[in-house]
Structure 1
């Protein structure tokens, strides 16, 4: 029957950004190291331990209280994202051509402000995107919890031991009021990306074999496998070990 629709991840196939990493580096003290530790922890939970109910890409919810503790707001996240979109060479033309040829979608773990910035830059339709919605400003953070989060960040950076991270993310954070932010955000990664693909198939009356999925990371494993196992095309674009 051939390919009838394309679904692509954003960061990797379309842009060279890691928006969440860049936000952490910009807002959080020693944010580069902090993000790398939490991201590695996320890989362990999703790929090695395979914790039930845990999706790859949940780094994006775990870091949110820390971003807020260091002053990130909705407008500042949007401004930073708009100013820092970096396209893969040829991506703008490719997206334009794909949209002309067949239905094309972006399914990304990235935060919504970043995906909106990408759509504005490339004239891609935002209603053809699935991404991680959030509202930092909806959740108040008192000074005591702000200071506690800064202490926890220091503990993560100085002692990235797995048991310490387990204690912080599943014992310490859930006791805090700001944890409502973590509970509210549902990153579109792993199984959630596959669910987005299924939603597209259902709404457009496609078949699984009509799909070409393009991805590059651990958050794309499930939709890549779904495409391959159902007669579609699974394309790893500059893929890491998980996608490959």
Structure 2
């Protein structure tokens, strides 16, 4: 039996793309704008061929322009790793009964490195990216690196506002200018494990009982797959995108809660999960809430816990 889970959010607090942007460009606003643009393309423009989570594709050319090496990526992955409290204990408990399938938008080197740190023995599916395979002239690299500060200086992109000047700038850069440069090969090569791909991977296992865990926009199609098959779509400290596609909201300061609920659902379905919500469980302590009805108050509480645990990374889509 397999349980399908996202990585960043449910198990590890770090957002490696954000950390790479800080390390390579000392510019968190740059990645925030890319993340907002990802939400815009997925939810507002609904760009053909684009999937939620393709931020990792948008970021890749910039990392190549900054001469990021595989060794630097691996070192940074280890140095910045901060796990959800009790993640190692929770993973061990989960693996006593099921095989986890970690399906993450994050780059595969980071996923492999950090998953080993808490003893994951299941299957790992991440975004394949090798920044060292590309040979691009220094002049082109300088051209793209100038865009970092330009992107960071753009106004925030709020999906409720529709197309804005910021979105128009990024549309022009990524879909008109970049295809005329050597960086376009990187965009074509990077196949992100985004929302659509996550669902496809989960479907390929043909499980009779579908259990999914996630927290963000890239998990919504995996959640839809679980719900369509009377399975579990568990949002763990999720944002509003994930919560609107989930059928269970878990708000907790320990990863043990998600592991206990996954196993309980496997053995006893939603009835067993309701008993935990009402009466607790021997393995659970600390702060946790379980919600079957997801309303605005649930979203508010989930976002509060998300920010408390993940900080800035918790504000990204």
Q: TM-score, normalised by structure 1?
A: 0.92
- 3-state SS of paired residue (2:3): strand
Question: Which segment is superposed worse, 91-100 or 216-225?
Answer: 91-100
Q: For residue 159 of structure 1, report the CA deviation from its aligned partner.
A: 3.5
Say whether the 8 Å CA contact 1:28–1:67 is kept in structure 2.
Answer: no
Say whether the 8 Å CA contact 1:28–1:66 is kept in structure 2.
Answer: no
Say whether the 8 Å CA contact 1:85–1:117 is kept in structure 2.
Answer: no
Q: Which residue of 1 aligns with 2:135?
A: 140
Q: Which residue of 2 aligns with 1:25?
A: 22
- 3-state SS of paired residue (1:191): helix
2:5 to 8, 15, 21: 8
Q: For residue 155 of structure 1, report the CA deviation from its aligned partner.
A: 2.4
Q: Which residue of 2 aligns with 1:74?
A: 70
- Distance in 2 between the 1:186 and 1:232 partners? 27
- Indicate the RMSD between aligned Cα atoms, in angstroms: 1.3
- 3-state SS of paired residue (2:96): helix
The answer to which structure, 1 or 2, has the higher relative contact order (CA under 8 A, 6+ apart) is: 1
- 3-state SS of paired residue (1:242): helix
Q: Which residue of 2 aligns with 1:112?
A: 108
- Distance in 1 between the 2:25 and 2:36 partners? 18
- Distance in 2 between the 1:17 and 1:159 partners? 25
Q: TM-score, normalised by structure 2?
A: 0.71
- 3-state SS of paired residue (1:159): coil
- 3-state SS of paired residue (2:106): strand
Q: For residue 50 of structure 1, report the CA deviation from its aligned partner.
A: 1.5
- Distance in 1 between the 2:75 and 2:234 partners? 32
Say whether the 8 Å CA contact 1:7–1:105 is kept in structure 2.
Answer: yes
- 3-state SS of paired residue (2:205): helix
Structure with max Cα Rg? 2
- Distance in 2 between the 1:140 and 1:178 partners? 10
Q: Which residue of 1 aligns with 2:225?
A: 226
Say whether the 8 Å CA contact 1:69–1:150 is kept in structure 2.
Answer: yes
Consecutive unaligned residues of structure 1, counting only runs of 5 or more, are none
For these two proteins, the number of residue pairs brought into alignment is: 233
Q: Which residue of 1 aligns with 2:213?
A: 214
- 3-state SS of paired residue (2:219): helix
Say whether the 8 Å CA contact 2:64–2:134 is kept in structure 1.
Answer: no
Consecutive unaligned residues of structure 2, counting only runs of 5 or more, are 156-165, 244-317
- Distance in 2 between the 1:53 and 1:19 partners? 24
- Distance in 1 between the 2:145 and 2:83 partners? 33
- Distance in 2 between the 1:74 and 1:140 partners? 15
Q: For residue 233 of structure 1, report the CA deviation from its aligned partner.
A: 0.7
Say whether the 8 Å CA contact 1:9–1:108 is kept in structure 2.
Answer: yes
Change (3 A) 1:191 1:33: same
Q: For residue 29 of structure 1, report the CA deviation from its aligned partner.
A: 4.2
